[in-house]
Amino acid sequence: MRIAFLTETFSPKMGYIQNVLPKYLARCGAEVHVISMDLSPYHDLAGSKKIFQGFTEAPVPGCVEEIDGFHLHVLGHRMSCGYPRMTGLSEKLASIRPDIVQCQASIGWIPLDAARNKLRLGYKLFSGNHNAMSTARPGLGIDGSILRRGKAIVTRFLPGRLASYFTERCYAVTCDCAEIAWRYYGVQKHKVVTMHLGVDTEYFFPVRSAAAQEERASLRRELGFAAEDVVCVYSGKMTEEKNARIVGQAVNRIREKGIPYSAVFIGNGVQKVAISAMAHCRVLDFMHFSKLAPYYRASEIGVWPTNESSSMLDAAACGIPLIISDGVVYRDHVDGNGLVYHQNDLDDLISKLLELQSPERRKQLGERGAEKMLQDFSWDSVARRRLAHYSEALGHRAGAQPSGLAETT
């Protein structure tokens, strides 16, 4: 089976779906081609160059390379109606001749151009939606004027509905992403499938060996944390929207009670300076996603105080309980292995952190989360379910191996 995965951006340093799902699809025996534009991740985020400081540099157009068993192709782009559009996509797809084309998004030029090329090349087309209500709501026109709602219909619903007519399924990564897809992005409701993001369990796993235990102890010493410290970890952008600062504020309030809590932050953003000035808080720069796991394993609690983050899954896979915001609608990844606090409520966050003061309580929740991530949230399991859908779309019998797909165990 030959698969083309179309994405707006690609960065080998980040553990996003466009990096990791192709890796596991290839391991299952598929021939996978990732086609991206020459844009850096978060290119449309104000101040992104300063936040990431070269960590997410744009790839070079025309580049073709092999990464983790799949092929990366970088195309140029042009702006069309204010949005980036791939140049040379038709020629690239014609040269690859894919059986399946998977778009990361369900709206925008990529799914529309993929739908147009399907008529000529005859592949089966799939789309997706990763925009959750906590981040997408301002652009949906829900709370705006008639003019804003009308603009959302013209720029989102109608193009999404047009592309949907040519797709087999749309993969929404949470239940609210699914509702956004059919209610606001025009995807036909019967084509929307909820399939969560995954964890690369090759890197993210709990402390199970003497070597991992020594790594944990050594890293804690390096960071300046005492053996008795309850270390909270946050990774990602340190923007006002993400509000990582509240974690440091909570830790220092708890410290005032004489209870040894500390925190480590990994990333960058406008709040970095303020967090760095806080006692009992260590701040590290963005790092390759595969390097994050030891820091999760060296911590006791993972805290993401506002929006969704795939890092939540990675931290849970490393065997630590989570604390997330009640603004997150989809909570399968935290149910039974973490707590939910009232978003941006400092006193409530402190209360939830103190609920996890007991090592026994943390161990119980952490083990439950690690097992859940391994069984239900691994990228391997996600890849196998996607391949089953792709095979069904191509007309292969249930249980039969499609051409080019090796038997795996």
How far apart (Å, rounded) are the C-alpha atoms in residues 85 and 101?
17
Lowest mean pLDDT among 25-34, 147-156, 207-216: 147-156
Which run of H or E residues covers position 231?
A: strand 230-237
Name the amino acid, one letter, at 270.
Answer: V
pLDDT at 332: 83
Residues 6+ apart with CB under 8 A from 178: 129, 172, 192, 193, 194
Q: Categorize the per-residue pLDDT at 405 as very low, low, confident or very high, splitting at 50, 70 and 90.
A: very low
pLDDT at 150: 87
Can you give the residue ranges of every domain in the chain?
2-198+378-393, 210-376
pLDDT of 55 > 70? The answer is no
pLDDT at 406: 38
How far apart (Å, rounded) are the C-alpha atoms in residues 236 and 299?
16
How far apart (Å, rounded) are the C-alpha atoms in residues 281 and 248?
6
Q: Percent of the chain beyond pLDDT 70?
A: 93
* Closest among 13, 77, 65 to 41, alpha carbons compared: 13
pLDDT of 307 > 90? The answer is no
Interstrand relation of 70-75 and 64-67 (parallel, antiparallel or unpaired): antiparallel
CATH domain 2-198+378-393 topology = Rossmann fold (3.40.50)
- Return the higher-pLDDT residue of 289 and 168: 168
Q: Do domains 2-198+378-393 and 210-376 have the same CATH topology?
A: yes
Average pLDDT, the chain: 91
Lowest mean pLDDT among 41-55, 78-92, 113-127: 41-55
What CATH architecture applies to the domain 210-376? Answer: 3-Layer(aba) Sandwich (3.40)
Name the amino acid, one letter, at 379.
Answer: W
pLDDT of 48 > 80? The answer is no
Q: What are phi and psi of 46, to 5 degrees?
A: -60, 130
Q: Categorize the per-residue pLDDT at 50 as very low, low, confident or very high, splitting at 50, 70 and 90.
A: low
How far apart (Å, rounded) are the C-alpha atoms in residues 285 and 262?
18
How far apart (Å, rounded) are the C-alpha atoms in residues 99 and 180?
28
pLDDT at 56: 64
pLDDT at 23: 95
Q: Categorize the per-residue pLDDT at 399 as very low, low, confident or very high, splitting at 50, 70 and 90.
A: very low
Cα-based distances in Å from 380 to 78, 150, 168, 384: 35, 41, 22, 6
pLDDT in tens, 103-154: 999 999 999 999 999 999 999 999 999 988 777 777 787 777 888 888 889 9
Buried b (16+ CB within 10 A) or exposed e, 287-325: eebeebbbbbbbbbbbbbbbbbbbbbbbbbbbbbbbbbb
